[in-house]
Amino acid sequence: MGAIAKPRALGDVLAPGDDGYEQARRVWNGLIDKRPALIVRPRDASEVATAVLCARERQLPLAVRCGGHSVPGYSTVADGLVIDLSAHMGGVSVDARSRRVRVQGGALLGALDRATQQHGLVVPSGHVSHTGVAGLTLGGGTGWLMRRYGLTIDSLRAVEVVTAGGEIVRASDEERPDLFWALRGGGGNFGVVTELEFEAHPLGRELVAGMLVYPLDRARELLAFARDWSERQSDELTSFPVLVTAPPQPPFPPELHGRPILAVGVAHAGPVEAGLRALEPLKRFAPPALDLAGPMPYLALQTMLDAGVPHGLHNYNRAEWLDQLSEAAIETLVGRFEQVSSPLSQVILGRMGGAVARIDADATAFPHRQAGNLLWIVSTWSPNQDPEPHLGWARETHEAMKPYAAGGVYVNALGDEPDERVRAAYGGNWERLAQIKRVYDPDNLFRLNANITPAASRAPA
């Protein structure tokens, strides 16, 4: 495609050859290497609306970027237009008295966490501080506090969104409730989110959290014990056991350097004394090779995993929901990790339930409220390596775990997968979502996502 002239009304725009374009076109997953025709960096919702109309009028494929963490690369597009909200729309403001938090569409989790923690408040969100708030939220939002406070969407109270027609609208329980329902778990299908309003929760600045680390040869018995232990805990405790390779550096002891390990990630959103008591049975059952769990600042928890997921590595993932983590499932999973192709890859198990499960499956667009566990297979490797062994390991591991799957998949963990998998992500809410899509985006302008195709118009009777 030839060069496309920059529309003057868009303001801050980059095209191929401009200073800053090469850096601006990069996204988190280094496997994605696309060259947009235009990168628009709006300053407010009106400039977003202008960019949306520009894409429509010029028939350019449109991508929306916040943190740029979409593993299949939906945050960018070749020969199309990217609306990059991260450059100028990353603000967060907190009203401590009402506990309401307003977050611009380009804000990252780190900005949200720092702003709310100034007042001893939290909005439940994800695990990596350079993730975009909007992208995480639109898919549901799993994280360290979900069993206590629910998914990120469960604290969402209103959204400002630019529709496919260039209209700036507000959605909440009182205004456009159908759109608000769809935005809570329906992904980026309905417009460009330019502001989110959350209700924050009091937590303070310290909690019991961190990791308990074990060699992989203890993983089978530890995963079985941790499964039963976590089911006996209060909703204040959320746990994420992870199979990963220990980096060759402190604080990991030399005998674990470069070896596969089980790291049981924990966060207790309650009093410190109660959190310490909650961890005692696990520590008694198997004293960890490395104990990194204890009282820590919430901001430290929210950045604890950042170093392990830097920008530029190549990434590919597959995911499932698991009802029960049976002994057979554990054996299969650990056996597959013993064959892991890269020391950068990991398998994440997230214990669901608690506040997540106390909301009806059709109350929001996120339908998987009763899922027991999240399984997320993440294959990661260096850019100079042959991708095939790493793609193969992830696919084969996913295939091996299918007998234990509960059905469906987490929207934010979807890769570039067949239509039936996308439908499974939305479960029983698909038809309603397709009807709302027809209202707000009948031509499917917003299709670079876990895409919901608009429902067909009914012929007149």
Beta-strand relationship, 206-215 and 260-268: antiparallel
> Once rounded to an integer, what is the mean pLDDT over residues 138-151?
98
Contact 290, 256 (CB under 8 A): yes
Rounded Cα–Cα distance for residues 257 and 447 (Å): 43
Has residue 242 got a pLDDT over 60? yes
Rounded Cα–Cα distance for residues 154 and 122 (Å): 13
The string of pLDDT tens digits covering residues 162-219 is 999 999 999 999 999 999 999 999 999 999 999 999 999 999 899 999 999 999 999 9
pLDDT of residue 233: 95
Rounded Cα–Cα distance for residues 164 and 351 (Å): 37
Has residue 4 got a pLDDT over 90? no
Q: Token pair of 155, please?
A: 């604290």
Q: Which amino acid is at 46?
A: S
pLDDT of residue 204: 86
Has residue 256 got a pLDDT over 70? yes
Helix (H) or strand (E) holding 173: none
pLDDT of residue 458: 52
Output the CA–CA distances (angstroms, integers) from residue 301 to 125, 268, 305, in the order listed.
12, 11, 8
Helix (H) or strand (E) holding 382: none
The dihedrals phi and psi of 229, each to the nearest 5 degrees, come to -60, -45
Rounded Cα–Cα distance for residues 85 and 42 (Å): 6
Torsion of CA 232, 373, 107, 380, to 10 degrees: 130
Identify the band that residue 382 occupies on the pLDDT scale cut at 50, 70 and 90: very high
Across the chain, mean pLDDT equals 96
Identify the band that residue 416 occupies on the pLDDT scale cut at 50, 70 and 90: confident
Neighbours of 149 (CB within 10 A): 25
Identify the band that residue 1 occupies on the pLDDT scale cut at 50, 70 and 90: very low
Give the residues across from 65 on adjacent strands.
84
Closest among 61, 43, 42, 40 to 449, alpha carbons compared: 61
Output the CA–CA distances (angstroms, integers) from residue 418 to 415, 424, 440, in the order listed.
9, 10, 24
Percentage with pLDDT > 70 across the chain: 97
The string of pLDDT tens digits covering residues 443-454 is 999 999 999 999
Contact 192, 83 (CB under 8 A): yes
- Residue listed under structure tokens 């983590």: 325
Q: Token pair of 450, please?
A: 């876990």
Has residue 275 got a pLDDT over 50? yes
The string of pLDDT tens digits covering residues 52-91 is 999 999 999 999 999 999 999 999 999 999 999 999 999 9
417 in helix, strand or coil?
Answer: coil
The dihedrals phi and psi of 346, each to the nearest 5 degrees, come to -155, 160
Rounded Cα–Cα distance for residues 348 and 134 (Å): 22
> Once rounded to an integer, what is the mean pLDDT over residues 106-118?
98
- Higher pLDDT among residues 128 and 4, named by residue: 128
> Once rounded to an integer, what is the mean pLDDT over residues 8-20?
86
Give the residues across from 243 on adjacent strands.
262, 347
Q: Which amino acid is at 394?
A: A
CB half-sphere exposure, 288, CA atoms < 13 A: 22
Q: DSSP labels for 65-86? A: ESS---TT-TT--TTSEEEETT
Beta strands in 355-450 (DSSP E): 373-381
DSSP state of 95: E
Beta-strand relationship, 156-162 and 192-199: antiparallel
What's this model's pTM, rounded to 2 decimal places? 0.96
Return the sign of the alpha-carbon dihedral for residues 232, 229, 145, 430: negative
- Min mean pLDDT across 11-20, 148-157, 267-276, 390-399 is at 11-20
Q: Is 280 exposed, middle or buried (0-12, 13-18, 19+ CB in 10 A)?
A: exposed
Has residue 11 got a pLDDT over 90? no
Contact 49, 166 (CB under 8 A): yes
